[in-house]
A and B are shown apart, each in its own frame.
Chain A
């Protein structure tokens, strides 16, 4: 019974204007290809890397400071070279990307849950609740989010949980403002009045009538947010107030490598940084495409 419906939906999707534009946009195709590769590498990476960079026993100091494989003195086992402890940079990057992606994705999930809920409630019910929430948002927006994150992390100490809390606290405002704005305009629509007249409860009106209408905006913001969260996390970790030393993310790898950059060992820090740039750039390209297709007014 379910199968034909799913099939039908798939066919509608494949013939939609959205998919047609997607097929014709090289940037959208390339960026989604990059992201799929990055995610697959993060999932299956540990099976293909030459070493587990967390396992100190597998590190060999005599293999330290090897340049990338294509340079003089490079070792074909270590494609992107090794660091001061003999750690394979490529393995470290793949393991690090797992931490970075986890924080980016889970961070956006938490942030959007909190932000959307507050936005829906504030927009739908209005009144005092709305005023208080929006006042808090205004005050918070007067301060750069990086500073708020730094402050929170500095006081709570490096840990993945604390980063997620800090990201949620700095990220909810944007969701709440956009969702609230959309709710205010959707609320006046006739179908919402009709739902009220029929006797739908507030909860079901919010979830079934209003939420689907703000979904496109949410998808667009969330995509771009994953990129910005990965970058925020990397920056915090670079400054030493992000992830703990036991679970190095890409940002922390850069910070480790930065110590030996002056001695000319550029590959230790530049490659992890470059990987962040590739991930974030692909996310931004895809996010831009989604915005132009789904909701151009978010510009």
Chain B
């Protein structure tokens, strides 16, 4: 186990190093922030001052070294548009993003797994065909389109739910979140549903395919002939055996969800990291873009790591050292 952890840590550092190089090259080679920060009729001298202030006059490798040293200390410079430290700004927006991700994840587990099991247990039934049709429709719907439809139906026409913002924010266990208030929940429903749709559809298809394969196995027939209740066969015996791919996909999807919050947050004007990223891309706000990317890179690397560790708990046959 220790050997595995060591190897894995080394790999993670390597991946993060590559990401830092890519982020640095992309952000420093493409686009020039100087012109975004200065008025149109700035003099050459003013331009030169800003270039020196941002350290853009130094050779690239020196810039990278400075970038890396600062990045390790969590310093990505001040945002060009918000004038506060970039990482701090992102971290302050993190709770807003993670709360819609958590609710979306909850919806996915609840609906995705139960509908998938249902469709996989009786693949020929009418309900299964309906579920599969729905899931195919689900992966064909762009999430921004779903967001628009929700806004039009639930907010503009029916006026049941608010269209934008986080709503009232309360405190649970010292964390300030919308999940603590009723108004917050009213705001969170539509963004989370938008975010969860693609995931639910994917999980349904995955669980169904797995279930269809497992249900043919002898141990299922045995459990049935022994007289185990149908529900227990499905959720106890069969589902347990397809958890590995499901957990993998959940890990991948957690990353995917965080990426898609950029869209959801833009549509619902949700003040999270995703909207911050889109705004920063429009303004070429380099410190925020680099900080965001390295922040999510670390997040994804950690998620993948946790997924690997989870494997060993789900399936003791898996040996991480091999």
Contact = CB atoms under 8 A, between A and B. Distances in A.
A139 interface: yes
B268 to A, nearest CB: 11
A94 interface: no
B182 interface: no
B6 to A, nearest CB: 19
Contact of B260 (A146, A152, A276, A281): A146
Interface string A206-238: 000000000000000000000100010011001
B285 to A, nearest CB: 10
Contacts of B258: 144, 147
B263 A238 contact: yes
B148 A269 contact: yes
B107 to A, nearest CB: 19
Interface string B32-46: 000000000000000
Q: Which of A139, A227, A234 has the most CB of B within 10 A?
A: A139
Given A151-B293, A154-B281, A284-B139, A261 B148 contact: yes
Given A139-B18, A239-B278, A234 B136 contact: no
Contact of A281 (B27, B137, B209): B137
B316 to A, nearest CB: 26
A266 interface: yes
A231 B293 contact: no
Q: Which of B151, B152, B282, B301 has the most CB of A within 10 A?
A: B152
A239 B266 CA distance: 8
A262 interface: yes
B137 A270 contact: no
Given A144-B258, A285-B136, A155 B27 contact: yes
Interface string B278-317: 1001100000010001001100110010000000000000
B30 interface: yes
B256 A142 contact: no
A273 interface: yes
B156 to A, nearest CB: 6
Q: Which range holds the interface residue count of chain A?
A: 35 or more
B300 A142 contact: yes
B136 A281 contact: yes
A25 interface: no
Contact of A143 (B148, B255, B289): B255
Contacts of B278: 150, 239-241
B259 interface: yes
Contacts of A261: 148, 151-152, 156
Interface on chain B toward A: helix, strand, loop, or mixed SS? helix
Given A144-B256, A266-B152, A270-B148, A281 B300 contact: no
Interface in B234-267: 255-256, 258-260, 262-263, 266-267
Contacts of A269: 148
B259 A262 contact: no
B263 A234 contact: no
B321 interface: no
B217 interface: no
A108 interface: no
Interface string A79-107: 00000000000000000000000000000
A144 B139 CA distance: 16
A254 B266 CA distance: 14
B209 to A, nearest CB: 6
Contacts of B148: 254, 258, 261, 269-270, 273
Interface residues of B, number: 44
Interface string A269-282: 11001101100110
A280 B140 contact: yes
A280 B145 CA distance: 13
A231 B138 CA distance: 12
B260 A277 contact: no
Interface in A131-154: 139, 142-144, 146-147, 150-154
A203 interface: no
B163 interface: yes
A142 B301 contact: yes
Contact of B156 (A152, A235, A240, A262): A262
A264 interface: yes
Contacts of B64: none
A156 interface: yes
Contacts of B55: none
Nearest to A157: B31
B144 A238 contact: yes
Q: Which of B15, B145, B260 has the most CB of A within 10 A?
A: B145
A261 B142 CA distance: 17
Given A156-B30, A273-B148, A239 B296 contact: no
B277 interface: yes
B184 to A, nearest CB: 22
Contacts of B108: none
A24 interface: no
CB-CB nearest 6 A-B residue pairs: A154-B281, A144-B259, A273-B145, A281-B140, A147-B259, A155-B30
Given A150-B277, A261-B151, 5 more contacts: A150-B281, A231-B140, A239-B266, A276-B145, A285-B136
Interface of B: 15, 18-19, 26-27, 30-31, 136-137, 139-145, 148-149, 151-152, 156-157, 163, 209, 255-256, 258-260, 262-263, 266-267, 277-278, 281-282, 289, 293, 296-297, 300-301, 304
